[in-house]
With several copies, the nearest count.
Chain A
Amino acid sequence: MTAPDLSVPLCGVRLGNPLVLASGILGTSAELLERVARCGAGAVTSKSCGPTPRAGHPNPTVLAWGHGLINAVGLSNPGADEEVRILRDAKARLAPLGVPLIASIFAETVQGFGDVARKVAEAAPDFIEVNISCPNVEAEFGRPFAADARDAAAVTAAVRRAVSLPIIVKLSPNVPDIAAIARAVEGEGADAIAAINTLGPGMVIDTDSGKPILANRTGGVSGPAIRPIAVRCVYDVSRAVRVPVIGIGGVTCGRDAVEMIMAGATAVGIGSAVYYRGPEVFAAIREELRGFMETHGYSDISQMRGLAHDA
């Protein structure tokens, strides 16, 4: 048997392997993005960037609560202008490594999404990821755009008009019917879908003080705890649309990555696992994935994709 081929195509871009650094984890600087690429990621996503600088919420912003993480970082970011510099630098560092760059953006208004997309496109990332699903800024912005098919479609259309780069729209699990949202954004020209953003929100209360620990009180839940929800979302979305899906949520080992792919994912996002296994987690999962394919006689990732659909 020939060695398994771990590479996957994503909207015409080739990823050396399906593992993608998820947005908001280590993606704050060009050097960190480079490091993650060197650690074995197939693609890297920058931390979501908005139109103007935001400090985010005060601490505590991230906690490890036993079965996952919970975070309310509050979309801290340096603003689109500074982000362009970071992305340009990142792109230059990633090019020799052959690792594509996904630039994640958010905004408060439909128009804002178009503006930020146009701005960050100046840095020529390989993809723009549209984060319409952050649950940690609701109080400020109202319900996330991902909660409503029309809002989600409108944002997608605005970004589509603004840039010609491939667009990934990132969805929230906190909706009654994620497949409907997926169809809506596909209809407006999304080239790929990322699912899922954090679950909830959730809350962790300190029983000594009686206070919610996160300064924002509530936060989005990620990590191992959310994997079955993420797998179901990826299954639902990938059966509803034709565009590729980046499956994200609770993946910490090779088997988890295989599960996402069998649920229908083309690529697999890795976030909280960086806490559990360090930045080295990318090479580790990549090799676990390779080992699984060897043991089970798969020569190509696509042979596993969506296997669960004909169950």
Chain B
Amino acid sequence: MTLDLPTAFRIRDIRDESPTVRTFTLDGAVQAEPGQFVMVWLPRVNEKPFSLVDDAPITLTIARVGPFTEAAHRLRVGDRLWLRGPYGRGFERLARPAVLVAGGYGAAPLAFLARRLRAEGVEVAVALGAKRACDLVLAERFRDAGCSVHLATEDGSLGHRGLATDVAARLLDANPDAALYACGPEAMLQRLAHLCRERGVPGQFSMERMMKCGLGVCGSCDHHGLLVCRDGPVFSADQVLGARGDFPSPCGRA
């Protein structure tokens, strides 16, 4: 069931993942698919989209990047936050070995996905990238779920020096019939989408766009005629790259 109006939950636990990223565990549950997101409301502040890291209990991993996320980071255990959703189409879980590629807080929906895939017996390798070692988040969750975790830092302070995309390419070399699932900065997704196309690897990519309604009406989250809030946020490589006429709905090819 979708919560149509912002609904109050209390924060049960807060965990620092990095100097700028925190994970909030709430005192309630929703039913969601990995990749789906919720709109989080802080009264008098704003309402912003965040991926679910888990649905029971509801878990959110929030990077501090501006006014709203700063306000979120000021919340303490016992405080309330409001959310509506879950919204959007999540990842479609394929019965093949999985390569997950996360850039920064893009690890959030993938941690949820990893758990579900593992529960279904799928082998999961994760390429986790960030600027510095201290920015790598949720690695423990992936490990706890039974994934093999491969780190990359741009400054080389931990794991591979460079990008998660490099690691992903190597993981795909080792697993030519894997499926790729990714979430992170736009440039990373574009690069991975090209990679998938070149190699004929099925890829699914969770994208971000400015969201207002989250309901598929305001058009604010447009990506080449696709609605990130409703058709996505998870898209195929072709959709990420803006291929014409690749609408997810039957009306796509008139």
Instruction: Give the B-binding residues of A (Cβ under 8 A).
Output: 24-29, 31-32, 34-35, 38-40, 47, 56, 58-66, 69, 71, 73, 76, 97, 204, 206, 208-209, 211, 213, 215, 271-272, 274-275, 278-280, 282-283, 311
Within the complex, the shortest CB–CB distance from A281 to chain B, in Å, comes to 10
- Cβ of B80 within 8 Å of any chain A Cβ, yes or no, is yes
Which A residue's beta carbon lies closest to that of B220?
Answer: A28
The one of A32, A34, A63 in contact with B5, judged by C-beta atoms closer than 8 angstroms, is: A63
A–B pairs, 26, beta carbons within 8 Å: A25-B217, A26-B217, A28-B219, A32-B225, A39-B251, A58-B46, A59-B41, A59-B46, A59-B47, A59-B211, A59-B212, A60-B39, A60-B41, A63-B5, A64-B215, A204-B5, A206-B8, A208-B7, A208-B8, A209-B82, A211-B43, A213-B5, A215-B47, A275-B216, A278-B216, A280-B251
Which B residue's beta carbon lies closest to that of A40?
Answer: B251
Asked if residues B219 and A25 are in contact (CB atoms below 8 Å), the reply is yes
Which B residue's beta carbon lies closest to that of A24?
Answer: B218
Asked if residues A27 and B219 are in contact (CB atoms below 8 Å), the reply is yes
Asked if residues A208 and B82 are in contact (CB atoms below 8 Å), the reply is yes
Q: In whole angstroms, what is the CA distance A271 to B213 when docked?
A: 14
Within the complex, the shortest CB–CB distance from A156 to chain B, in Å, comes to 27
Q: In whole angstroms, what is the CA distance A271 to B216 when docked?
A: 11
Asked if residues A29 and B39 are in contact (CB atoms below 8 Å), the reply is no
Q: In whole angstroms, what is the CA distance A38 to B250 when docked?
A: 10
Within the complex, the shortest CB–CB distance from A119 to chain B, in Å, comes to 21
- Cβ of B160 within 8 Å of any chain A Cβ, yes or no, is no
Asked if residues B4 and A65 are in contact (CB atoms below 8 Å), the reply is yes
Q: In whole angstroms, what is the CA distance A65 to B3 when docked?
A: 10
User: A31-B222, A65-B5 known; A60 and B47 CB under 8 Å?
Assistant: yes
- 15 more CB-based (< 8 A) A-B contacts, given A60-B41, A206-B5, A311-B44: A28-B218, A31-B225, A40-B251, A58-B46, A59-B39, A59-B41, A59-B46, A59-B212, A61-B218, A65-B4, A66-B5, A73-B218, A97-B254, A275-B215, A280-B251
User: A25-B219, A206-B43, A275-B217 known; A39 and B249 CB under 8 Å?
Assistant: yes
7 pairs of A and B residues whose beta carbons are closest in the complex: A31-B225, A28-B219, A62-B213, A59-B47, A208-B8, A38-B254, A39-B251
Q: Tell me which residues across on chain A come within 8 A of B8, comparing CB atoms.
A: 206, 208-209
Q: Tell me which residues across on chain B come within 8 A of A61, comparing CB atoms.
A: 212-213, 218
Q: Mark B67-95, 1 if CB is under 8 A from A, else 0.
A: 00000000000001010100000000000
Q: Tell me which residues across on chain B come within 8 A of A63, comparing CB atoms.
A: 4-5, 84
Within the complex, the shortest CB–CB distance from A182 to chain B, in Å, comes to 27
- Cβ of B6 within 8 Å of any chain A Cβ, yes or no, is yes
Q: Mark B207-239, 1 if CB is under 8 A from A, else 0.
A: 000011111111110101101001000000000
Q: In whole angstroms, what is the CA distance A311 to B46 when docked?
A: 13
User: A58-B46, A66-B4, A283-B251 known; A213 and B41 CB under 8 Å?
Assistant: yes
Q: In whole angstroms, what is the CA distance A66 to B5 when docked?
A: 9
Max chain B CB contacts within 10 Å: which of A35, A65, A71?
A35
Q: In whole angstroms, what is the CA distance A62 to B219 when docked?
A: 12
Q: Tell me which residues across on chain A come within 8 A of B217, comparing CB atoms.
A: 25-26, 62, 69, 271-272, 274-275
The one of B220, B222, B224, B252 in contact with A38, judged by C-beta atoms closer than 8 angstroms, is: B252
Q: In whole angstroms, what is the CA distance A56 to B254 when docked?
A: 33
Q: Mark B1-30, 1 if CB is under 8 A from A, else 0.
A: 000111110000000000000000000000
Q: In whole angstroms, what is the CA distance A29 to B227 when docked?
A: 11
Q: Tell me which residues across on chain A come within 8 A of B247, comparing CB atoms.
A: 35, 38
Within the complex, the shortest CB–CB distance from B229 to chain A, in Å, comes to 11
Q: In whole angstroms, what is the CA distance A25 to B216 when docked?
A: 9
Q: Tell me which residues across on chain A come within 8 A of B96, comparing CB atoms.
A: none
Asked if residues B5 and A278 are in contact (CB atoms below 8 Å), the reply is no
Which B residue's beta carbon lies closest to that of A223?
Answer: B217
- Cβ of B48 within 8 Å of any chain A Cβ, yes or no, is yes
User: A63-B5, A280-B249 known; A211 and B222 CB under 8 Å?
Assistant: no
Asked if residues B43 and A279 are in contact (CB atoms below 8 Å), the reply is no
Within the complex, the shortest CB–CB distance from A16 to chain B, in Å, comes to 12
Q: In whole angstroms, what is the CA distance A293 to B222 when docked?
A: 35
User: A29-B225, A206-B43 known; A69 and B215 CB under 8 Å?
Assistant: yes
Q: In whole angstroms, what is the CA distance A29 to B225 when docked?
A: 7
User: A29-B225, A38-B254, A279-B249 known; A211 and B44 CB under 8 Å?
Assistant: yes
